[in-house]
Structure 1
Amino acid sequence: MNFASVRIITDDLDRLVKFYEKVLGVSAERPAPVFAELVLTSCTLAIGHSQTVPLFGTGSAIAASNKTVIIEFRVHNVDAEYERLKPFIDEWVKEPTTMPWGNRSMLFRDPDGNLVNLFEPVTEEAIKRFSNRIDG
């Protein structure tokens, strides 16, 4: 089994796509007016308009209501990303900080309130833990 993607449901597809294009530095693919994918080497972030929810089952997802999932992306330099994104991000949750498990992380919210973590392993143990994973 292979992990394919994470999908965010939103009422404002264009706004969220533009936000993630800026954060991730890639252009979205738009196979349909109500759906976009931001394809990275390690994963795909899919974004669907709330109009797509009935295709999965009425009420199966509610836009801008996530309070449990953190969308995480591994980067090469958290501090450099922080400087790049500082003027663009409206809601910072945590400025760059080294976590007890050895990752340097910064957390912010996207325009729909989803929590996003950009991180890099910085301790010897964390670097070792990520050594066999796709490079971020």
Structure 2
Amino acid sequence: MSLVSIRIITANLNGLVKFYEHVTGMPVVQYTPDFAELQTKTATLAIGSTRTLQFFGGADVAQASQNRSAIIEFLVDDVEKDYKRLVDFLKPYLVQKPTTMPWGNKSLLFRDPDGNLVNLFTPVTPETIKKFETKT
């Protein structure tokens, strides 16, 4: 089994597409007015409008802008470099400047426009560098 995708449900598809393109520097492919994907080497961040919920059982299946338990994480080459590139853009969204975590990653935490927590991180200890060397 492989985890291949995480999907965000939003009432602001165009806003999230622009946000994630800016943050990652990667293109987000918008297949329809209601569905887009940011494809990385290891997984896909899908973005679906609230109108897509009809295909999953109705509007009550998920609620846009309500996430308070998951973190969307992106492995980056140099989190400090990304922070410098994004510092002005992320001001209204910033949760925590780059900080080394006890488990060996340096993490930059911020929220997207819907309030989803996002972590850009770089492994900094020998153990975490080895752990992620096949993912870069």
The residue that corresponds to 1:61 in the other structure is: 62
Is 1:100 aligned to residue 120 of structure 2?
no
Q: Mind listing any 5+ residue stretches in structure 1 that lack a counterpart?
A: none
Q: CA RMSD in A?
A: 0.9
Aligned match of 1:120: 122
Q: How does 1:12-27 map to 2 (within 5 A)?
A: 12-27=12-27
Superposition misfits of 4+ residues, deviation over 3 angstroms: none
Please state how far the C-alpha of 1:69 moved relative to its aligned partner.
0.1
Q: CA deviation at 1:71?
A: 0.3
Q: How far apart are the structure 2 equivalents of 1:94 and 1:30?
A: 30
- Of 118, 130, 134 in structure 1, the residue corresponding to residue 132 of structure 2 is 130
| Identity rate, percent | 53
Q: Using the alignment, how far apart are the partners of 1:55 and 1:119 within structure 2?
A: 34
- Write the mapping of 1:37-56 to structure 2, written as runs, cut at 5 A: 37-56=37-56
Q: Structure 1: which amino acid aligns with 2:64? A: A
The 3-state SS of whatever aligns with 2:54 is helix
User: Structure 2 CA distance, aligned partners of 1:32 and 1:79?
Assistant: 35
**Alpha-carbon distance between aligned partners in 2 of 1:85 and 1:76, rounded to the nearest angstrom:** 15
Matched positions, count: 134
TM-score by length of 1: 0.95
Shift of the alpha carbon at 1:2? 2.2
Alignment of 1:71-86 (within 5 A): 71-86=72-87
Tell me the distance in 2 between the aligned counterparts of 1:29 and 1:92: 26
| Partner AA of 2:106 in structure 1 | R
Structure 2 stretches lacking a partner, 5+ long: none
- Offset, 1:51: 0.8
Q: TM-score, normalised by structure 2?
A: 0.95
What is the letter of the counterpart of residue 50 of structure 2?
A: S
